[in-house]
Each structure stands twice: as C-alpha cells, then as structure tokens.
Homo-oligomer: A and B are copies of this chain.
Amino acid sequence: MSTVVDMLQDTRQRLLEAACEAFREEGYQVSIDRIAARAQVARQTLYNHFPSKDALFAEVVRHAIQSVLVTLDGDGDVRATLLAFSEAYRAKLLSSEGIAIFRTLTAEAPRFPALAKQFFRQGPLTTRKRLAEYLVRAMEEGRLKRDDPDFAAEMLTAMLVDFDRLRGLMNLQTDLLMSTKTAQVVDCFLRAFAPEKDMP
C-alpha cells in the first residue's frame, strides 16, 4: 500500500524528526552525518530533501515554534483560569525540550537574525498577546485592577519561569517543576493586580 509519494513523505518526516532531536540535544553544531545517521538515511538523501544545513535548521525551528505556544481558555474565575494557564506555561517552557529550544535559539540568534525574530514574534510575543487579551477583559469586568495589560502579562510570564529557566539552562534541573510554585506566583500576581476596593 505504500506508494512512491508516501515513501518520499516518510523519509522527509524521519529526517525532520531526527534533525529536530539532534539540534535540540547537541545544538546547531551537530554534524550533517549524525543527523542522517539518526534518521537511518544516507547523507546524500538528506541533501535531496534540503538544500543546505541552514535550510534544514530553519525548517526545524519553524516547527519547534509551536511547541512553546500556550493558549488559555477563559472559563471559571480569574484565579482558576490563570492557574491553568500558568501550569501549562511552566510545563512547556521548563520541559527539557523547552529549555533546549531556548538554548539553541539563543546561541544561534546572531547568525540567524531573521529566524530569531520570527521565533520571538510567533512564540513568546503571541503568548503574551493572548494572555493580555484575557487580562484586559478581566480588567473591564472589574475583576482585576485597570492597568497596562501587556505589562501585566509580561510580569506574570516573567515570574513564572525566569529563575527556573536559568537553573535549567545551567544544567541544575533538579525539581524544576515544584508543584506549589505556580499557585504561589499566581497569588502574588493577583495581589499586585487586585482591583481597587474603595470604589463607591
């Protein structure tokens, strides 16, 4: 049942997955041969599908962007919504994949400025925008203090990962995902952005 075009798609897919893992685990410096070997494919086959190492890297990064995108659904009260978002945010960004993507992109940003910009806009900036859109609604409903929603979103996402991400990047990833921390951060955020009570 496997047609020619199926096999073509299959090898391409295997190559992309192998490259994704290889770049994640060893950075951009990983050799073409190691990627081909990981996909169990000859080096020339790789060059049949991708014109150069840079092009393959760009393709992998474009795929990887999705894996650090976090959504939120606005059911329930504000605290519950933010808790669910925050848990998902920490889980994605502090996973070993999330850390590895951050590391690789950080290292190679000077050599691939366009790629870095695309990642920044479609990844972190998009997540912040979605969060800010939720926050502005909560503000209008009087459930949060009226403030700059982009700023508020930035503060929450910063508090959620900054220090633990650094720990992960520096290879001290013991207990990166403490269960209590998410709630601690969300409550801290809610104190800072609680609605002013003394409204007549």
Contacts and interface: CB of A to CB of B under 8 A. Distances in A.
B103 A169 contact: no
B151 A158 contact: no
A80 interface: no
Contact of A117 (B27, B106, B158, B171): B171
Contacts of A158: 158-159, 161-163
27 contacts: A27-B107, A27-B110, A29-B29, A103-B106, A103-B107, A103-B110, A106-B106, A109-B171, A117-B171, A117-B172, A119-B170, A120-B166, A120-B170, A120-B172, A124-B163, A128-B163, A151-B184, A154-B159, A154-B163, A155-B188, A159-B159, A161-B162, A188-B192, A188-B193, A191-B191, A191-B192, A191-B193
Given A151-B188, A191-B193, 13 more contacts: A27-B107, A27-B110, A103-B107, A103-B110, A109-B170, A117-B171, A120-B166, A128-B163, A154-B162, A155-B159, A158-B162, A159-B159, A192-B192
